[in-house]
Structure formats: structure tokens, C-alpha cells
Chains A and B, each alone.
Chain A
Amino acid sequence: MELICPAGTPASFRDAIDAGADAVYCGFRDETNARNFPGLNFSRDELAEAVSYAGGRGVKTLVAINTFMRAGNEQLWTRAIDDAAELGADAVILADLGLLAYAAERYPQLRRHLSVQAGAANADHIDFLVETFGIRRAVLPRVLTVAEVATISKRVKCETEVFVFGGLCVMEEGRCSLSSYATGKSPNMHGVCSPASHVRYRRDGTEMVSGLGEFTINRFPESEPAGYPTLCKGRFVAGGQSGYIFEDPASLDVLSQLHALEAAGVTALKIEGRQRGRAYISQVVTEIRKALGTLGGAPRTVTDGNALRKLSEGQRTTEGSYDKRWR
């Protein structure tokens, strides 16, 4: 299975490759990708250098253009496709159907991967996109069990890719409106979940209080591990009880399921975290590369689960829906 690694900067791009990535995904410095944060992402020149660095080492460069085009400003997205193709990207990762059509018509030789943001969670959906837009790979949303991943992977006419580590969204990928509700900006349209411009932290006695727009997201007692300031991972009072109503602050970690995912016919494993620092990327890629060494009869090595847990949101990990125990 291929290891697909994130990079938010050229330095982390190189670190991901040096740590053992088979492919690195990244985005331009604008709203065309789902990690549109200040100081992050690639200029056109930086992408050209990255493609060259990766190509020289047999590593693929995937460009995420995975937000949805905004009416009246479509050229921002189509220009991103043009530039990714011209700069030699090995594939583009797309969610918008119009953009898929544009890429298929203009650049038929450029591999098209379906972003997790497209939320394609069944074989009929994926095969329709294979037949209509020639997608070569679908990144499956994090709402499926391993058995469902296997069913889809064995049936669809393209490769499948699944997330194995990193930040975990509430189960509405590509459709979540929580950030938009609170701030007017969303990951789907603007590439930002909980935009930094709307995030604030303050101390209240010994507690750290996080807020987003008009909403208080959480109150963390001293020394309790914290999470991102997203509404989906906020702690709210409902029915007289305080708790995580949507989702606990925890990161996905399904390294224990690698054998099952391989047996399921998955082509590629993806690490989330383009917004994270080089230290995260180096460590996570190294650990997962080590874990992949346990497959295919290679000598078993043990990954440092504790190290990965410390890098995780809330310092906790979960297998999420892969090990679904709820209805």
C-alpha cells in the first residue's frame, strides 16, 4: 500500500519524503484547498520545486484542489487545475463535480483523485464518477467500517485510499456547516474550518476558555489536554449535562487495522495534517512507514503508539468508524 503524506510547506514536503512518503499531497495558497490557513501552502514556484524534488526521488506529488467552486469566481479553481497540470503534478485531488469535468476535458492524462470532501461512501457513487470523469482513485470518507471499505474497494472500478492517522472530522465530510454557521467561512467553500480570525483564547481563573465567533467552544481545566477550537469538538451543556455532544477531541489512529485494510484491497493510506508542523510530519510518517514494514511478510516492528498519541488532538486516539460500535 502507498503511504500518502501531508505537507503544508516546502520544508515539511521534503521532510515527508525523507521520512518515507510514497506520495505527498499539498495545496496552493488560496481558497482552492481545504487547509487555507495563514502562512501555509505553496506558491506556484514552490510547487514546481516540490514536484522536482519529489520526482527525483520517485515520489509523487498530489495537489489538493478540493474545495467547492464559488459562483462567479470559478477561475480561481480552474486556474489551479491549469497550474497543477503545467507544473507537473502527478494527480489532482478534487471534490467539485464541475472541476472534475473541467480537469477531465482539459487534461485527460492528469490523474484525478476524488477527495474525501466529495463524501462518496458507496460503490455506485464512486463508479458513476469513474465512468463520467475518469477518476482513478477515491479517498473514502471516514464514516465507513473496515468491512464496508472492503466491500467498496472490491467492487469499484478505481483505486481506493483511506485515512489511517490524524485529525478526524465529524461525519459530514464535505457537507459540514458548523464552521460556516459560526463564522461565515467553511472548509468546503473557503478551505477553513474554524478560521483563525474568529478563534480566541482567554484564561478564566485556572481554566483556558476557547471560543469561535460568538460561541464558547470549551473550557479546559489546568493540565487537561486540549483540542482544536472547532464546534464539532466543543463541550456543551445539553439536557443538564456538560459533555462532547458531537465528537470527542481525539485523532484517528487505525494502524492496528493495516493488515485488514491491505486485505480489503485498499491501494493507499493517507495521513491527515497539512496544517501541522514538520516535527509532526516527520514523526508520523516515520512511525507509519515502520508499521507498513510489518505487512507482506516483512519483519515485524513495533510502532511507538505513545509518541503518536502525544501528537494527537486531546492526546487521545480513536479508530473512529473503522471500528464502529454504534448504529
Chain B
Amino acid sequence: MKLPRTILQLLKPIPVPVAQAIAAAALGAILRKHPKLFDRLGEHAAKTFAFAPTDIPFAFAVSPRRGTMTVARPGRILRADATISGPLVLLLALAEGRSDGDAEFFARELSIDGDMEAVLALRNALDDCGIDLPRDLAPSGGPFRRPVETSLQALRTLLSGGNRKWS
């Protein structure tokens, strides 16, 4: 579940505005691909969710209904109704429904804070909508769609230690 040091080294120098542009594009692609997400989120789609990976130098605040993404360095306060913290690879696995949030919470890999109704709604919505990050983000690559998908799949395999799962 630990992020390889080389990936961490690559992430560190990325300026916040660049990280924000990339993350916002990814969020947009996912929301367009999975409109059912809003059905399960219901009223909680208007909430803001902060994701605070414990192993990379960025934190993210997402508001699904507004489709906005804010990126900040860890420690900078992001206004959010709920905050979910854990290793990046685990957060990605949860987004894809490839890891069970309750089990990760029991194992203390994951910590949550704030509006628990919103967190549960988000968990269930993500679990149902079948996000596949390489497949969903590949169209952003335009003419390089195939190599982007293949690269992201390879990255997922690398981070998951050989499994198709992130975790």
C-alpha cells in the first residue's frame, strides 16, 4: 500500500496550480462518465469532501455538484464538510470500489472526520458506479487515449503489487 519513493519524488516538485488543473480535469471526466453518482449522493452532492492522502504533498477538496476541485499543500486548511484520510493508493482503491471502506476503517488505515452521512453516501455512490480510473481518464489523452489507458493500468498494477487492484 506504500507509495514507491520514485513516485513520491516525481510528485513533490509539481506546483499546486498544475496539480489542481490535472485533478480538476480528472474529476470532470469521472463526473461526466458516472452521472449515477449524483443519484446515490442525493443531497450530499452539494457537500464538499476533502481527501487528505497521508503520503503525498497534496490534499484535495471536491464538491461534486459544483464540479469543483481545490488542491492544497497538506496542513493548509481546506474547507470541507467531511475529510477522508489515508494512503493515496487506498483512497484510489476505495474510489474504484476495489477495497472495503469499513474493513480499512477497522484496520485504522483510513480515518474520517465530519459529516458521516455525507461520507457514507459518497462511499456507497462510489462503490456502485464502477469507476475504473484508467478507462475513465483515458479519453482525456485525446489521440493518445490508448497509451494513456495502458500506462495507467500499468501504474495501477505496479502500485497494487501485481494485482489488478490498487490496494
Contact = CB atoms under 8 A, between A and B. Distances in A.
A8 B124 contact: yes
Interface of A: 8-12, 37-40, 195-197, 199-203, 208, 220, 222-228, 275-280, 283, 310-315
A195 B130 CA distance: 26
9 contacts: A38-B44, A38-B124, A39-B41, A40-B124, A226-B106, A277-B99, A277-B100, A313-B106, A314-B106
Contacts of B102: 228, 275-277, 280, 311, 313
Contact of B120 (A39, A226, A227, A310): A39
Contact of A276 (B100, B119, B128): B100
Nearest to B37: A39
Given A39-B122, A39-B125, A226-B105, A279 B100 contact: yes
B113 interface: yes
Contacts of B44: 38-39
Kindly state the interface size class of chain B when it binds its partner.
20 to 34
Contacts of B105: 226
Contact of A225 (B107, B117, B124, B128): B107
B6 to A, nearest CB: 28
B128 A224 contact: no
A222 B109 CA distance: 11
Given A196-B116, A197-B116, A11 B97 contact: yes
B34 to A, nearest CB: 11
Given A38-B42, A280-B103, A197 B98 contact: no
A220 to B, nearest CB: 7
Nearest to B97: A278
Contact of B113 (A40, A201, A226, A280): A201
B111 interface: yes
A196 B106 contact: no
A29 B32 CA distance: 25
Nearest to A220: B108
Contact of A39 (B94, B108, B112, B123): B123
Query: Sorted from nearest, which 5 A-B pairs have the closest CB atoms?
Result: A39-B124, A39-B121, A9-B128, A38-B121, A196-B116
Given A37-B120, A38-B117, A315 B107 contact: yes
- Tell which of B97, B105, B116, B118 has the most Cβ of chain A within 10 Å: B116
B40 interface: yes
Nearest to A167: B102
Contacts of A225: 106-108
A197 B117 contact: yes
